[in-house]
Structures are given as structure tokens and as C-alpha cells.
Amino acid sequence: DHGRAFYAPNTMIDKRGRVIMWAWIQGGGTRGWNGCLTLPRIVSLGEDGRLKFFPAPELQKLRGSHIHFDPMIISSKSNGILRNVRGKTVEIVGKFEFIDADSFGFKFFKSIKDEDENIDNLGYNIKKNLLWADKERGKVDSLDNNETFIFHVFIDKSVIEVFLNYKECVTSRIFPKTIDSHEIDVFSRGGKVKLHSLDIWNLKSIWEKKVK
């Protein structure tokens, strides 16, 4: 994981023989708490001998309302493609194909009133082999420009966990500027990418009842 907030990972083996990893996400606000645990990740060994990381499939039980987008071409001039898509607790699975862009990815926590469209919160720079989520970033060497790029993203208020092709991960803390900053969009810089599919789910709470 390329995020500095990702700290002290630990693993366990469950009854099914799966290697499950958790870690501590550092950082918090000033409201009496600091940090939280990551989502559980299934760790396995790929055919190429590299480690692979998948969000535990049990997390799918938290999926709520769902939006699906069909294939589309995204250019550097595209803006406001995902109209009226918003959320502060969401799961996103986006599949991209490189055409000639320098970088591509997602914008999160956009304000409805904010005219600044240049805040690219999460993305991958193909020329620099750089994966980033807000201020957290790292160079990767496990990806091929000819493969489909799968972004699997979880956002829980200020916490974001990113799985790129289930080979590279980055965990970050992102703090929205305003209370209405929950718009979501996609972007491409320096050229075009093809978005093969995009699925977005609002996430339900793990708690069946709210604690009073």
C-alpha cells in the first residue's frame, strides 16, 4: 500500500484458508478520535508470483442503491460526465482502457457550487507509472499499459481505499471542503481513455441499528 496513512498491517488465516489482512489508518480530526481500521483484504499469490489484494467479498453485503454506466470515451475536454452522482459512503468499480491519455481517474468530494474542476483526487499517470489518492502516491511497476485498468474504490467519509488491478493499493484521508462536497466524476488528462463500465453503490452501515 502506497499510502502513508496505512500502518501496522496484520494478517490472519480464516477457517477457509484465506489470508486476511487489516491495517491501521492513521490520522483523524479534533473530535475525540484518531484513526480507524482498514477494510479486510484477501491476500493471495498471482500466477506471475506477485501478491494480489482483494477486498473481502463479504463487503458486498453492505451494497445499497446501485448506478451503472455503459461504455463511453472520456477526453481531456470532458466534464460533468457523471451528472447527479454523489455520495460520501460509496463503493466504485471502474474499468478503463488506455487510448492516448497521460492520466485518468476520479474526482471526489466536488461541491455543487465549486467551479474548480481541476482537483483530481484519485488517478493513475501512465507515463510516470504513478498511482495517487489525494496527497498519497507511489510509483508502480506491476502494470502493463495494454491491460484493462480496474479501479476498485471504497469511500467512507474521509477515508479512501483504492485497489488498482488488485495489484497496487493506496489508502488516504481526504477531507471535504464544504458540507455539500459529495459529487463524483471521472476525468482524463492529455488525451482519451475508454471507460468500459462503471458501477457505483451507496454503502450501508455495518450496524443494524443506530447507537443512541
pLDDT reading at 185 higher than 70: yes
When the pLDDT of each residue in the chain is averaged and rounded to a whole number, the result is: 87
94-135 per-position pLDDT tens digit: 999 999 999 999 988 665 555 554 466 899 999 999 999 988
| pLDDT > 90 in the chain, percent | 59
User: Which of 173, 135, 167 lies closest to 149, judged by CA?
Assistant: 167
Query: Rounded to whole angstroms, how far apart are CA atoms 83 and 197?
Result: 16
Range with the poorest average pLDDT among 119-123, 176-180, 200-204: 176-180
Strands (E), 46-190: 51-55, 63-69, 72-74, 89-98, 103-111, 122-125, 130-133, 136-139, 149-156, 159-164, 168-173, 181-189
Domain range summary for the chain, segments of one domain joined by +: 61-203
φ and ψ at residue 58, rounded to 5 degrees: -60, -20
Look at residue 195 in the predicted model and tell me its pLDDT.
94
Nearest to 102 by CA among 64, 82, 75, 72: 75
Instruction: Please tell me the predicted confidence (pLDDT) of residue 28.
Output: 61
The pLDDT of residue 129 is 93
Q: What are the tens digits of pLDDT across the range 132-164? A: 998 899 999 888 888 899 999 999 988 999 999
Higher pLDDT, 27 or 141: 141
Q: Please answer whether residues 75 and 189 qualify as being in contact, where contact means their C-beta atoms are separated by less than 8 angstroms.
A: no
Is the pLDDT at 204 greater than 80? The verdict is: yes
pLDDT of amino acid 196? 96
Enumerate the H helices of the chain as residue ranges: none
Global model pTM greater than 0.85: yes
Fold of 61-203: Jelly Rolls (2.60.120)
